[in-house]
Amino acid sequence: MKTEAEALDMIGDHFRRARLAAGLTQEQVADLAGISRPRYRDVETGAAAARATTLINVARALGLEMMLVPQAMVPAIEALLSPQGEDDRPAFSPQAEGDDE
């Protein structure tokens, strides 16, 4: 695995930013997402490949939403989010698709 780990790391970084911006502790977010604190920590650090439902719950606890979009549309969406400059950082870099790896 290669890009997968990077993706997880970017997700975790995104979550951390959103959490700090919201002024929440790890435990608070973990509780909101319905997961344990050690596990939320793993998500933030990208230590583990969390389940889809876990990521969805964490995202929603932080006011975020996971979306599936065509790779070709990613730049446009990023452009749409950047100016808003809240705390939104698109999740994954669309660096070509390595298919598997």
Binding positions for a copy of itself, rule: CB under 8 A = 1, 4, 7-8, 11, 14-15, 31-34, 49-57, 59-61, 63-74, 76-77, 80-81, 84, 86-92, 94, 97-101
- Residue 35 is a binding residue for DNA (CB under 7 A): yes
| Nearest residue (CB) to DNA, 51 versus 60 | 51
Nearest of 74, 66, 84, 93 to residue 21 by alpha carbon: 84
Residue with tokens 């973990």: 30
Contacts of residue 98, defined as CB under 8 A and 6 or more positions apart, other chains included, come to 2, 3
Which residues here bind DNA, judged by CB under 7 A?
A: 19, 25-27, 34-39, 41-45, 48-51, 54
